[in-house]
C-alpha cells in the first residue's frame, strides 16, 4: 500500500512516520504539507533525526493525494483537517485523522471547545470514533481519540458499559508529559518553567472533555458530565490518568477484577494488572495501556489507574492500530511490542 502523511514534522507525525516506515504492508510513504502553494521541502531539513531519508514534503493537492496513496493520515493540529478533508469524506477515501477535528458529533461543541464556529459536520455514518478496543466496524474516515480520552475511556469502559457507575461521581485526574502540548513553543513548555514543576492547566476547559462525555454517554445514557483535570509534568512523554468513581451497587475487589479481565483478557494492547497500580515507565515507547484498580471498602470509592505513552497509544500507535483494523491487517503490525527500557 501507498500511504500519505500530512504533518510529519510534529511529534505525533514523527512517531507515525517511524512506525509506518517499518510496516510490512506499507510500500511507500508520501509526505505533504498543509498548503497548496508552499515549496517542496526536504524531510531531513525539517526533522534532522531522519538523517538518512531522501524524502520530500510536497504541497497538499487533494486530487494528487488520491491518485498517489491508498490511505491518508492527518497528524496536524486541530483546525487543519477540517479545512482539507471534506473532499476525502465525500469520496469515501480512507483517512485516519489524529487531530480533534471530527471527534465530536455536535457543531456547537466545536465552537465551544475548539473555537471552530459554523462547522458543518458530515453525516455521522461517514466518521468513526476510533477507540480501537471498542470499534467493531469502520467508516472510511477515522477520528483518532485524544490521548487523555484514550486513557480515561479504557479505564472506565467496563463499568460504564455494564451500567455500574454512579453517573454523578466520575472524577478524572490526569497528568501528561510536555510532548502532549505539541511542538509549538509556549512559555509553559520551556525548561525553566516546567523543570522541577507541575502545572494544572485548562481546568474544566480541556478539549478532550466533550469526547469523553460523548462516548461515556453512548455507553451509559445516565452519564452527562465528568470532573476532569489535567496536569503538565516535567517529563518528555507518558500519561497517567487516575479515575475516582463510586458504583451503583456494592461489589468486591474480586468482582471488579473479573469484570475487567472479561473485557481485556483478549486485548493485545490493554493489560489489566488487577491491584498493581502501573507507572508511566511500564508503557513508555509502546502501544500498551496498562490499567490497575483498587476498591476502598470504607469509602466505596474505586480508584482506577491508567497509563499510556501519549505519543503512541495516545496518538500515532492507536492510529496505526486503527489502520490495521480498517484494512484487515493483523492488529499489532508495525507497532512496538515492548516498552522502552530503561
Q: Which residues are catalytic?
A: 147
d(CA 139, CA 137): 7
Considering only CA atoms, give the Rg of the chain: 20
Quick one: which of 37, 99, 92 has its CA closest to 70? 92
Question: What is the dihedral sign for C-alpha 100, 101, 105, 111?
Answer: positive
Question: Are the beta carbons of 212 and 152 closer than 8 angstroms?
Answer: yes
Residues contacting residue 325 through CB under 8 Å, at least 6 positions apart: 132, 135, 138, 331
User: Which burial class, exposed, middle or buried, applies to 308 when counting CB atoms under 10 A from its CB (0-12, 13-18, 19+)?
Assistant: buried
Question: Are the beta carbons of 194 and 186 closer than 8 angstroms?
Answer: no
Classify residue 22 as left (phi > 0), alpha (psi -120 to 50) or beta: alpha
Distances, alpha carbon 333 to alpha carbons 21, 310, 317, in Å: 12, 19, 10
d(CA 156, CA 134): 12
Residues contacting residue 37 through CB under 8 Å, at least 6 positions apart: 59
Amino acid at each position: 500500500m501507498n500511504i500519505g502523511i500530512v504533518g510529519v514534522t510534529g511529534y505525533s507525525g514523527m512517531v507515525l512516520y517511524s512506525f509506518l516506515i517499518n510496516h510490512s504492508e506499507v510500500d511507500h510513504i508520501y509526505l505533504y504539507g498543509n498548503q497548496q502553494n508552499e515549496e517542496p521541502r526536504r524531510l531531513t531539513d525539517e526533522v534532522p533525526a531522519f538523517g538518512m531519508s531522501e524524502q520530500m514534503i510536497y504541497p497538499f493537492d487533494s486530487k494528487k493525494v488520491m491518485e498517489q496513496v491508498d490511505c491518508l493520515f492527518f497528524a496536524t493540529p486541530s483546525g487543519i483537517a477540517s479545512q482539507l478533508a471534506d473532499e476525502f469524506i465525500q469520496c469515501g477515501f480512507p483517512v485516519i485523522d489524529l487531530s480533534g477535528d471530527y471527534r465530536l458529533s455536535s457543531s456547537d461543541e466545536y465552537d465551544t471547545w475548539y473555537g471552530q464556529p459554523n462547522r458543518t459536520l458530515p453525516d455521522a455514518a461517514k466518521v468513526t470514533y476510533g477507540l480501537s478496543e471498542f470499534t467493531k466496524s469502520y467508516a472510511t474516515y477515522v477520528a483518532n481519540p485524544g490521548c487523555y480520552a484514550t486513557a480515561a475511556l479504557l479505564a472506565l469502559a467496563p463499568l460504564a458499559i455494564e451500567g455500574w457507575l454512579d453517573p454523578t461521581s466520575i472524577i478524572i485526574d490526569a497528568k501528561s508529559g510536555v510532548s502532549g502540548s505539541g511542538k509549538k513553543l509556549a512559555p509553559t513548555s520551556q525548561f525553566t518553567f516546567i523543570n522541577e514543576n507541575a502545572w494544572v492547566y485548562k481546568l474544566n476547559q480541556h478539549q478532550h472533555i466533550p469526547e469523553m462525555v460523548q462516548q461515556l454517554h453512548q455507553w451509559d445514557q445516565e452519564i452527562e458530565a465528568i470532573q476532569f483535570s489535567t496536569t503538565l509534568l516535567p517529563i518528555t512523554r507518558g500519561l497517567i490518568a487516575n479515575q475516582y468513581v463510586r458504583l451503583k451497587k456494592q461489589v468486591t475487589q474480586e468482582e471488579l477484577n473479573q469484570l475487567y479481565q472479561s473485557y481485556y483478557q483478549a486485548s493485545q494492547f490493554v493489560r489489566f494488572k488487577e491491584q498493581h497500580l502501573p507507572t508511566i515507565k511500564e508503557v513508555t515507547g509502546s502501544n500498551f495501556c496498562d490499567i490497575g484498580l483498587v476498591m476502598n471498602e470504607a469509602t466505596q470509592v474505586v480508584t482506577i489507574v491508567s497509563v499510556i505513552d501519549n505519543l503512541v497509544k495516545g496518538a500515532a500507535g492507536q492510529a496505526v492500530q486503527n489502520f490495521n483494523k480498517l484494512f484487515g491487517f493483523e492488529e499489532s503490525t508495525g507497532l512496538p511490542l515492548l516498552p522502552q527500557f530503561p
